[in-house]
A and B are shown apart, each in its own frame.
Chain A
Amino acid sequence: MQAVNFIIQNILTEASITIALIAMVGLLLQKKTIGQVINGTLKTLLGFQVVAAGSTIIVQALTYFGTIFTEGFNMNGIIPSIEAINGQAMNEIGLGSEIALTFLAIFIVNLLIARFTKWKYIFLTGQANLWMATMCSVFGYFAGLRGVTLVIVGGIVGGVFAVGMPAIAQPIVRKITNSNDIALGHFCTIGYMFTAGIAKITGDITTSTEELNLPKSLEFLQDTYLSLMVVMVPLYLITAFFAGPECSYQFAGDSHYLMYAFLQSIQFVVGVYVLLSGVRLLLGEIVPAFRGIATKIVPNAIPALDCPVLFPYAPNAVIVGFVSTTIGTVIAMFVLPMFGLAMILPGILTNFFAGGTAGIFGNAVGGRRGAIISGIAHGFFITLLPALLVTIFNTLGFVNATATDVDTVVAALFYTWFITPIMNLFS
């Protein structure tokens, strides 16, 4: 019994160990060699610690930004970054183990649903699953769930999304790819379906974005970290300018306050870069293991993959969707505070990936005009939903961040509106 207690208290509460053990079991189940098992387990452990390091960098850059934004514009400016939410939840809030186990539970529920129903989708976008596990853990915790219940409820909610989202998007994905080989596994799907709906009403299917001649200069935006910098640098500089030198002094010391702001904006991108490199190490062993298991258990499984797999099918639509979604998020940034909601700054990563995919959906259903109009509506939509969550994030102690991956936001709202009231009945 003592040994069991030791394991529970000292090992399973240490998130990096939990997730490394999950990877190890996966590798052993696949009958890998000892060398491969050790290699994969250690890489997973390393990946987790790299995520933590990235998170520390992001939090630092965000804390500074939060301070100057409040001083400069007299209101709270929230940066949407699911990476920042994940990093903070794992480290500062201490939900790392819960997230790791929920992540595993989502995989298992996904497998079970795919095995026993006609929806054969296997969700293979590891980082999206990790974000979903994060939101389920954070909001489950907020609802009062703890321990095993928190993990099981998270697994069920996340697992239903993991099969349901690819399933509802599939009719349009089939239209885009002309095949049924791949599905879309990206937790922004409710936004895409919303976009497709608007495009259907406003669009004109006879024209296509792919006939447009877009300026080549926009193509650098496909380089994630570069486009992140292009937005963060002016955002930090303008904010620091309005906040003035005195406000920055506590951070910058004797260096020039605008120079400091410039370097901090790069520092934010560094944080995202480090964190995502950690995620890459973390998932490198787990995702192939899951894929191997899934293809054995689920005959005719359809892999649900990350959204850029659709980008080569309509590259112009990606740019159109990105630009129109960004316009929508900028409009929402100014409009939402008028209704007493938080000011959410445009989140460049979601704008590119989700916006780009929304553009493809809009174009597939409503042509050029549909893609543009629905893209703007999409930007508004993905800013409105997270604005509803900001108070809860603040109560839980998150620093200036929210998430714009709408499916995870909908899962979070489900927790807030249904599970929390039910939990309150029993307490």
Chain B
Amino acid sequence: MMSSVHEIAVDIGGMPILLRTDDPSFREMLATRYAGFVGSSQNPKFELDVDLVTPSPEMASDEDVHVEMQDGQWLLRRGDFRAQWDPRVGRGWVRQTANPYSIDAVLRILHSLVLAREGGFLLHAASAIRNRRAFLFSGVSGAGKTTISSLAPDDAKLLTDEISYIRKESNGYVACGTPFAGELARVGENCSAPVETVFLLAKGPVNKIEPVSNGEAVRCLLRNILFFAEDPELVKLIFRSACEFVDKVPVQRLTFMPDARVWDLIQ
């Protein structure tokens, strides 16, 4: 008996990835999760066949993510998924149970690998567009990404409260919305704008913006860039991307109180 194939293209940062499954309910789950980021299936940049397996102890371990290149193919592994992707032909597969978190992690990893080759990166940062310019708010868990996102005024478009998507273009850097949500559990808006400033978040008794040295800016960016592969050449690329970014985009420290008035400083 032939099973039908169900497709959906998830288009993040202008890079549509076609996901193919034989389970219509999984496809519907993806359509709901990535609503606003569903693109055309006609010209995907990559294609992934998602092979859904029944839950088993093997697919439920807490093994950390592991990403390595072997014979020209990226091998991705975590307790809850296995995946393989050949960047030369733009095809790959994912083996996982029917849950949204595994495919979400695979997409993050693939985007981080592709962006690394293009001078961009994924950053632990909330981001929002105000007055047609994008502002990023970077920091580790607890730094205030969710807080500052929840305080955003109505005229600000929230791109993400968790993972910012930075693409390098010929005339600068652009921040794109992502469906990679944090504690707000709110998918970002699917739009983009030139990056104006990156704020390194700190909570404090007053709202203030202070300069940081180039060295500190690069160090903080490197600490917050999502990167999974243990590949020295890609580590060098990420380092170069962080340095070039700091050379072009102001990075400042934003200390703030949990109060909407902090947004008076951000425009």
Bound pair: A and B?
no
